Amino acid sequence: MSVFEKERKSMVKKQIYKRGIREEKVLKAFESVPREKFVPEDQKHMAYGDHPLPIGDNQTISQPYIVALMTDALELQKEDKVLELGTGSGYQAAILGEIASEIFSIERIENLASNAKKILRELGYNNIHIKVDDGTLGWEDKSPFDAIMVTAASPNIPDSLTEQLKTGGRMVIPVGDLHSQDLLKVTKTKSGIEKVNLGGCRFVPLKGEKGWS
């Protein structure tokens, strides 16, 4: 077993399982995706650390536990179609792609999107589709989605996104100001939306028409 494989196993046990995430599909996805491939060369030795890491362009790959908490909250089924806002490194998209059927991921920074596409192609993910755009408007022609994952901090819950969720669909989104946010799980019901606060968090800003300017 390689050093990275050992570190990955230990990360899943100590940072994810021990903190209460028990869903088999989620744990298996984290055991399968090589996180070291998604971080820059000079960060690889810290790929399995219990913290976010810089990925260039002033952006970050989130802490493994946060990626796991958000993934778990989406309650994904294998036939689900998922929208992700903020492709970043592509790591979260790969985790989603291990569990669900089709992943549509939007990134506003061209350089990050093209790096992520390249890595995901090399790893053989053909169920992940990435485009460069303002994700705050969603991806209308691929909607409705079973689940939406927003991996950047939003000032509110954009209507454009709840409109693109199926009834019964789930969305995870950090909502707050530029310094701190609450991680919200939003479920769309026949009569509106239900919100559950999963706790405090800190993300880079979601910039766009329905986000921060």
Residues at the contact surface with ligand SAM, assessed by CB under 6 A: 59-62, 85-86, 88-89, 91-92, 106-109, 112, 134-136, 151-152, 203-204, 206-208, 211
Query: What's the min distance (Å) between Cβ of 74 and ligand SAM?
Result: 13
Active site residue 101: no
Q: Rounded to the nearest whole angstrom, what is the least distance from the CB of residue 101 to ligand SAM in the complex?
A: 19
In angstroms, the CA 137 to CA 210 distance is 7
Rounded Cα gap, residues 170 and 60, in angstroms:
24
Q: How far is the CB of 106 from ligand SAM (least distance, A)?
A: 5
**Considering beta carbons, is residue 12 or 204 the nearer one to ligand SAM?**
204
For ligand SAM, which is the closer residue by CB, 1 or 45?
A: 45
d(CA 93, CA 109): 16
Residue nearer to ligand SAM on the CB measure, 108 or 185: 108
Cβ nearer to ligand SAM, comparing 102 with 134: 134
Work out how close the CB of 191 gets to ligand SAM at its nearest, in angstroms, rounded to a whole number. 29
Residue 154: φ, ψ to 5°:
-110, 145
Smallest gap from residue 150 Cβ to ligand SAM (A): 8
Nearer to ligand SAM, 168 or 178 (CB): 178
Secondary structure (H, E, C), 56-124: ECCEEECCHHHHHHHHHHCCCCCCCEEEEECCCCCHHHHHHHHHCCEEEEEECCHHHHHHHHHHHHHCC
Q: Residues 104, 108, 110, 115: what is their CA dihedral angle, to the nearest 10 degrees?
A: -50
Which residue of the chain is nearest ligand SAM when measured via CB?
Answer: 86
d(CA 192, CA 120): 36
Peptide bond into 144 cis (omega under 30): yes
* Given the residues 32, 62, 160, 180, the one annotated as active site: 62
Catalytic residues: 62
